[in-house]
Structure 1
Amino acid sequence: MMSNLAEATTGEVVAIAIGPNKKVFRLHKDILCSESEYFCTAYNGLWKEAVEGVTLEDVEVEVFSIFVHWLYTQQMPTYEDNRKYDISEDFGFMLLKAYVFANRFLIADFERIVHNLLIDHMVDFGCSMYEHIIFAYENLPEDSLVLKLMVEMQCLRWELDFDGDEEKQRRLDLPKAFLVQVMVRLVELRDRNIALQDRDIGIEEFNAGDFYMQEESEEAGE
């Protein structure tokens, strides 16, 4: 993380074109490169981007704007403070996309912060929307704690009447890996709960901290 923001914002400015309409963001190179291994290599290595600049047409402007805001303020938006998200699910999807962006472009501090905010939101909200699950499985590594929590929530909190007509249609598109993991985890939870009941021990739910990324950018529990 950049320790001297004033120094980092006095040097060279680079332009990054974002989205299909190529909206241009102008950022200070030093602070950008200090936070991201990807951009550091792109602007200081032998990549063509070092000469031609970076264009990311498959990144949403909204997601990149959140990163830029964090880059210069070290702050993240909250659902309560942000009126443009009509429902909590939209805010959660934005956090998920921001986490995927951070993971893809090797922005360790931003990744950890967004990841843990996303975990908190998922625990508070309940089961993930199927659209979010599909997106996550398409874009995150298979050992991601976000995927693990999605499975856990589906096993422990999901009920049949949670799904409206649109969600019922999306069941057919759920990733095979997710469905298999839910099937296996349900058996594990069943066996654990039977063992706890036999010993007259209360059944405990998970807590968000079990799924946090640690400050050294390693996932908890590894």
Structure 2
Amino acid sequence: MSSTAGLSTSSHTNSVNRNPNKFSRTRSKAASVLSKRPTHECFGSIVTVEVGPEKRSFAIHKDLLCFYSDYFRAAFNGSFKEAAEGKISLPDCDAKIFYIFNGFLYTRELCSEAGKTGLELSSTTLSELWVFGDVHLVPALQNLAIDCLIGRIQTLGSLLNTKIPYIYRRTVAGSPLRRMAVDWEVCSPSVTEDNLSCWPRIGLIELAIALSSKQAEHRSFRTLLQSRGKCYYHVHSEGEHC
């Protein structure tokens, strides 16, 4: 394994302009469970990912990246310029979020540059990791991020309401992250005007629908989780489950 793989380096090379829609969704091949591990064949050639407006450069094993992400598999194994050059640019991506993703590829854990791990990461960071995984088709990252987010809000007793507008801007109707946020608020012991003030109109509609169908036995988020099972908020490839 190259000593540079998985580590960030400074670079001032030109980025590859990318149409965000050109790597279309196909039938998922990406690993969605952490028990499915990459083989030694995934640690061969290395590609470069330039992140953010500062073009922070990450050197990563190509097949490892493709093992976890259908997005990067399409980019590096197709007929696009990125495949020929072995380089892709993500100018709109936060380098701090990509750093955690980069570490996840090699450790299957979440760790920030500041050394915070798992439940220690903020609700903001965990939400942004989930959205990154959604955009770049990394289901295993999404599932780990939402598990940590659920654990964090259960420990702290609250979801960071200021992230609700972000969640609704960056997800589609029915997404697991939206459903989790709605379910948490529905099961909250004290729904107040302050809690709901940051929710967009579509979110309030979804809350109203969820409240109208709330079952009496689901008086807490914990009992709701127990009744639905761990995979309810997960994204899985066909044939995979926790």
**TM-score, normalised relative to structure 1:** 0.74
2:122 aligned counterpart, secondary structure: helix
Pick one of 99, 120, 123 that aligns with 2:130.
Answer: 99
The corresponding residue for 1:199 is none
The corresponding residue for 2:213 is 188
Pick one of 50, 57, 75 that aligns with 1:42.
Answer: 75
Q: CA RMSD in A?
A: 3.1
Q: Would you say how many aligned residue pairs link Structure 1 and Structure 2? A: 195
The corresponding residue for 1:123 is 154
Q: CA deviation at 1:215?
A: 7.9
CA separation of 1:188 and 1:108: change in aligned 2, threshold 3 A:
closer
What are the ranges of 5 or more consecutive residues in structure 2 without an aligned counterpart? 1-35
Q: CA deviation at 1:93?
A: 0.9
The corresponding residue for 1:206 is 221
The corresponding residue for 1:23 is 56
**TM-score, normalised relative to structure 2:** 0.68
Determine whether 1:109 maps to 2:144: no
Q: Which amino acid aligns with 1:205?
A: S
Give the distance between the partners of 2:42 and 2:211, measured in 1 at CA. Answer: 50
- Paired residues of 1:98 and 1:114 also in contact (CA < 8 A): yes
CA separation of 1:125 and 1:147: change in aligned 2, threshold 3 A:
farther
Q: Say which structure is richer in helix.
A: 1
CA separation of 1:105 and 1:93: change in aligned 2, threshold 3 A:
same
Q: CA deviation at 1:91?
A: 1.0
- Paired residues of 2:188 and 2:220 also in contact (CA < 8 A): no
**Does 1 or 2 have the higher relative contact order (CA < 8 Å, sep 6+)?**
2
Give the distance between the partners of 1:118 and 1:140, measured in 2 at CA. Answer: 16
Determine whether 1:75 maps to 2:109: yes
Q: CA deviation at 1:57?
A: 1.2
Give the distance between the partners of 1:215 and 1:26, measured in 2 at CA. Answer: 27
Q: CA deviation at 1:122?
A: 2.9
Q: Which amino acid aligns with 2:90?
A: L
Q: Which amino acid aligns with 1:51?
A: A
Q: CA deviation at 1:217?
A: 4.2
Give the distance between the partners of 1:73 and 1:106, measured in 2 at CA. Answer: 18
Q: Structure 1 stretch 52-61 or stretch 148-157: which is displaced more?
A: 148-157
Q: CA deviation at 1:182?
A: 1.5
The corresponding residue for 2:97 is 63
Rg larger for: 1
What are the ranges of 5 or more consecutive residues in structure 1 without an aligned counterpart? 194-201
- Paired residues of 1:119 and 1:211 also in contact (CA < 8 A): no
Pick one of 177, 185, 190 that aligns with 2:202.
Answer: 177
